[in-house]
Amino acid sequence: MSLQLDRRSEELRLRVVRRPLRHDSAAKHVAGSATFVDDIREPEGLLHIAAGGVPAASGQLLGVDLAAVRAAPGVVAVLTAADIPGKNDVGPVVHDDPVFVESRIEFYGQVVFAVVATTREQARRAAKLAKVAAAVGTHCVSVDDALAAGSHILPDCTFRKDDSAAALAASAHRVKGQLRIGGQEHFYLEGQVSLAIPGEDGDMLIHTSTQHPSEMQHLIAGMLKVPVSAVTVEVRRMGGAFGGKETQAAQWAALAALAAQITGRPCKIRLDRDDDMCLTGKRHDFLSDYEVGFDAEGRIQALETVMASRCGYSADLSGAINDRAMFHADNAYFLPAATITTKRMKTNTVSNTAFRGFGGPQGMMVAERAIDEIAWALKLDPLDVRKRNLYGEGRDITPYGMLVEDNILPALLDRCEVTSDYRARRRKIAAFNAQNGALKRGMALNPVKFGISFTTTHLNQAGALVHVYQDGSIHLNHGGTEMGQGIYIKVAQVVAEEFGVDADRVKILATSTAKVPNTSATAASSGSDINGWAAKNAAGAIKERLINFAAGAYDVVPSQIEFRDNRVFIGNQSVPFAELIRKAYLARVSLSSTGFYKTPKIHWDPATGKGRPFFYFAYGAACSEVLVDVTTGEMKVQRVDILHDVGRSLNPAVDIGQIEGGFVQGMGWLTTEELVFHADGRLLTHAPSTYKIPCASDVPEHFNIALWDGANREDTIYRSKAVGEPPLMLAISVFAAIADAIHSLNPDKAVPLDAPATPESILRAVQAVTS
Amino acid sequence: MARTVRAVMEAEPTAPAPEKLTVTLVINGRETRLSVAPWTTLLDTLRDRLALTGTKKGCDHGQCGACTVLVDGRRINSCLTLAVMKDGAQVTTIEGLAKDGALHPLQQAFIDHDAFQCGYCTPGQICSAAGLIAEGKAKTVDEIRELMSGNICRCGAYVNIVAAIQQAMGKA
């Protein structure tokens, strides 16, 4: 009871966190003065880089004639693998990503050389003069190709809970199916870009657009054969990233650094958009088979699934991404018995990579399809089947052995059902569908349960650096990178709260490996969680010194000192924050500190597939209604109601933006965004002319978002929850609603709808249920 | 069954030394004379020659809208426009919208509504919205959404972008 009262009074004291403060770069963004890498005023003598690739998806490189390239106007240097002093590799985990092809060709357009020239145009024109000879081999493009050829990039992996085969056999009902789930291009609006500036003693400063400055630093040092300390990577902001600038920034940063080392001049590379789409990895597409056994009420008895993913030519992060697909194949549902397998297939395509959700969305799609299958088979309302299968008392162990302790979904789903007016609308939709032939409505209310933490346990650490200057202004660095998600303002709010000052007193500086070392990628939604705590710890260390100083100087006990409203209250008097800082400086108190944080409680044993990989879960639910023209396959999302759990929000404006944006991006993934490869391995959809990204008119006309108002039960930063990725999966409700609309055509058949639900995909499913 | 191919990237025809043309643009109210290669886009002219980097390069194909500027009051994709095509024209970029230190109503509205996340599409969205308002065609929210569909926001901040434009239209 007293703990609750403490929490409540602590909550009332908060002045800066919880407030919907504007994005720290708001004024600069609307004025066009926010500097992205390509906007940095070009240094004297800057050279530009263009990469040259091989026009074949596989085989052996026989020779490269670069004579004409070298002779072209403006060319200063032409780089190949032979020019790399260290390792020809930018692979993040398994070292299988060459900067330049040496002999084996792995995908269409793979980089063989790079031209460094006085202008970008000269570099690009010169690159076209190369004569590349190759012995073309056989190749796999799709998951199906790779399955047929037995082409694996990593070993298969399986989670087992109880005897699922026996449980399936014992189930009253069983359904089998297959689901195809497409990939997704990140289309960060700012493409890949790097600017390298050589310094003295072989030092290198790289401005790049990446979510993972430390990894860029390490890989570049290895490639240049210099100590890591000689390389500094700095990131002020990115024009979007979404996972696509975690590992995929490395090759371009490496090219810029290599060119700068060899020429001794600053060098920049900015990928042309088509090249960016053709040469960088995307979300993994999956081909998933499943079989679910259930009782007469629709309760799952067992689930077996084999999920095969297109990983591309190298391992990249595919291991962890497939792991996360397995961690989310239950979504929000208790599986008494399960066998969950992923097959990590090697294809001769770009190396697929992190993308918001990191495999989780693909895993969750299987769980949600399985529930729909049950509802269709038993002619039950899908929401009722979902509710019956939620985790609950005594039904709370995941297939990977983690106890679900923080399950708020039963209450959250109930509330979303009420606020979306689910039952009444469902009746109206049934009436509408009974009266209309070509147009069918569909609706679905789906839960999301998303595990928060890097599943690679050691990555769950963060650092920060805080200085207080003599005028009371505060300097903040941490390992998180800003890609539009608002981490800078959130962490600044945490530091301002700690010192009891306004957020604008906290100067947010570019993320730099020189300020905070050995950071993890800003990924796994964990950025604000871990960097927020690290920054609080740094600020807290300084504050503790200030309290000790003030207690002595003013002869009060520490408990009588409070920092708030830009002042420090000491016993019966108060002084401006800056005044106390000045006094502390004169008294030789250190006003600078690092801070560190590591996520508690988590552990994972890959050998047994058991443990607690997640600190906690973030939850949400979305109810989507769609209108489908079953004669043309056209579809419109008409209304969406979201109820999402962000714990106690650090900044509700930022969090609501993440929910809206994540949902829209997820909707794009599952409806209009379709990647098409030619049989020869070329990506055919390499520009927004052929790859359809949601625009303003695609956003549902009625789009209602509410925040769940509970605190995180775990001790996260101010009891908030991560928000970057989970909302993306709320868009599965759109996909399920489309299937629901098609299902109205024939209630006796399951709907074999594949993602993305393009008009073609919708028509195929319509034909399947009506034939 | 390896087959050997000689894949030669097609060489560009060797052009004679580029002849530069002189163009006069009135950029954000200031007359600017420039000597540019005839194929230089307005976008590259703004960014690379005049250091007006507020206008962004997104796709360079006129499909994303990040490069939208106003030419004689009309919104255009500056990546699909050659500088020499606009000799004598009035060009307004994001840097030229504020007047006498006061933000343009759209700039203020975008701040008020958090109508961005990463901010990369924002200059193009705001210039496009300024053109939209000048066109006077959009009367309803649906029309705003439809007539802003040439400007992609990959972060998906559309709800707030449309709300910001509505606010500015109310004031306009």
Mean pLDDT of the region A711-723:
97
- Tell me, yes or no, whether B65 and B30 share the same domain: yes
- Edge-to-edge strand ranges of the sheet holding A59-65: A104-105, A59-65, A131-136, B3-8
- Tell me, yes or no, whether B30 and B87 share the same domain: yes
- Tell me, yes or no, whether B81 and B112 share the same domain: no
- Edge-to-edge strand ranges of the sheet holding A561-564: A561-564, A567-570, A573-576
Instruction: For residue A697, give the nearest of B58, B98, B146 by CB distance.
Output: B146
pLDDT-derived band at A294 (thresholds 50, 70, 90) equals very high
Residues 6+ apart with CB under 8 A from A493: A16, A17, A19, A21, A503, A650, A651
- pLDDT (tens digit per residue) in A462-498: 999 999 999 999 999 999 999 999 999 999 999 999 9
Instruction: For residue A239, give the nearest of B120, B144, B158 by CB distance.
Output: B120
Residues of B in contact with A25 (CB under 8 A): 119
What CATH number does the domain containing B122 carry? 1.10.150.120
- pLDDT (tens digit per residue) in A586-642: 999 999 999 999 999 999 999 999 999 999 999 999 999 999 999 999 999 999 999
Same fold, A2-34+461-598 and A403-454+606-771: yes
- Within a domain: residue B48? yes
pLDDT of residue B63: 96
Cα(A654)–Cα(A657) distance, integer angstroms: 5
Closest Cα in chain A to B103: A31
> Within the 20-49 window of chain B, which residues sit less than 8 Å (CB to CB) from chain A?
47
- Tell me, yes or no, whether B85 and B134 share the same domain: no
> Within the 64-123 window of chain B, which residues sit less than 8 Å (CB to CB) from chain A?
64, 66, 93-95, 98, 103, 106-108, 110-111, 114, 116-123
Mean pLDDT of the region A523-542:
97
pLDDT-derived band at A313 (thresholds 50, 70, 90) equals very high
pLDDT-derived band at A8 (thresholds 50, 70, 90) equals confident
- Tell me, yes or no, whether B28 and B88 share the same domain: yes
Residues 6+ apart with CB under 8 A from A568: A500, A546, A550, A561, A562, A574, A575, A576, A577, A580
Shortest Cα–Cα distance, B79 to chain A (Å): 13
- Tell me, yes or no, whether B164 and B136 share the same domain: yes
Q: In chain A, how many H helices and how many E strands?
A: 20, 29
3-state secondary structure of A407: coil
- H-run or E-run covering B45: none
- pLDDT (tens digit per residue) in A372-389: 999 999 999 999 999 999
Which of B1, B39, B117 would you mutate first to test chain A, the one with the most A CBs within 10 A? Answer: B117
Question: Are A683 and A282 spatial neighbours (Cβ–Cβ below 8 Å)?
Answer: no
- The identity of residue A112, as a single letter, is V
Residues of B in contact with A695 (CB under 8 A): 148-152, 158
Cα(A442)–Cα(A430) distance, integer angstroms: 9
pLDDT-derived band at A2 (thresholds 50, 70, 90) equals low
CB contact under 8 A, B159 and A699: yes
Going from N- to C-terminal start, the domains of chain A cover 2-34+461-598, 403-454+606-771
Instruction: For residue B117, give the nearest of A62, A186, A484 by CB distance.
Output: A484
> Within the 128-147 window of chain B, which residues sit less than 8 Å (CB to CB) from chain A?
141-142, 144-146
Instruction: Note whether B15 contacts A: Cβ–Cβ < 8 A.
Output: no
Closest Cα in chain B to A22: B114
Residues of A in contact with B160 (CB under 8 A): 657, 660
- Within a domain: residue B36? yes
Catalytic residues of A: 725
Residues of A in contact with B156 (CB under 8 A): 660-665, 694, 699
- Tell me, yes or no, whether B45 and B65 share the same domain: yes
E-assigned strands of A118-240? 131-136, 152-161, 173-181, 193-198, 204-208, 231-235
- Within a domain: residue B89? yes
Beta-carbon pairs below 8 A across chains A and B: 213
Among residues B96, B127, B158, the one where a domain terminates is B96
pLDDT-derived band at A4 (thresholds 50, 70, 90) equals low
Question: Are A138 and A82 spatial neighbours (Cβ–Cβ below 8 Å)?
Answer: no
Q: Which CATH class is domain A403-454+606-771?
A: alpha beta
Cα(B48)–Cα(B41) distance, integer angstroms: 10
CB contact under 8 A, B154 and A188: yes
> Within the 674-693 window of chain A, which residues sit less than 8 Å (CB to CB) from chain B?
687-689, 693
Shortest Cα–Cα distance, B91 to chain A (Å): 15
Shortest Cα–Cα distance, A585 to chain B (Å): 38
What CATH number does the domain containing B36 carry? 3.10.20.30
pLDDT-derived band at A5 (thresholds 50, 70, 90) equals low
- Tell me, yes or no, whether B114 and B77 share the same domain: no
| DSSP strand pairing (A610-612 vs A603-605) | antiparallel
CB contact under 8 A, B95 and A664: no
- Within a domain: residue B72? yes
Residues of A in contact with B53 (CB under 8 A): 32, 35, 38-39
**Domain range enclosing B140:** 105-169
Question: Are B79 and B43 spatial neighbours (Cβ–Cβ below 8 Å)?
Answer: yes
Q: Distance from CA of residue B122 to its chain's centroid?
A: 10
- Whether the CA torsion A53, A56, A58, A61 is positive or negative: it is negative
> Within the 362-381 window of chain A, which residues sit less than 8 Å (CB to CB) from chain B?
none
Total tally of structural domains belonging to chain B: 2
- Tell me, yes or no, whether B30 and B91 share the same domain: yes
Q: Which CATH class is domain A2-34+461-598?
A: alpha beta
Report which DSSP code applies to B61: S
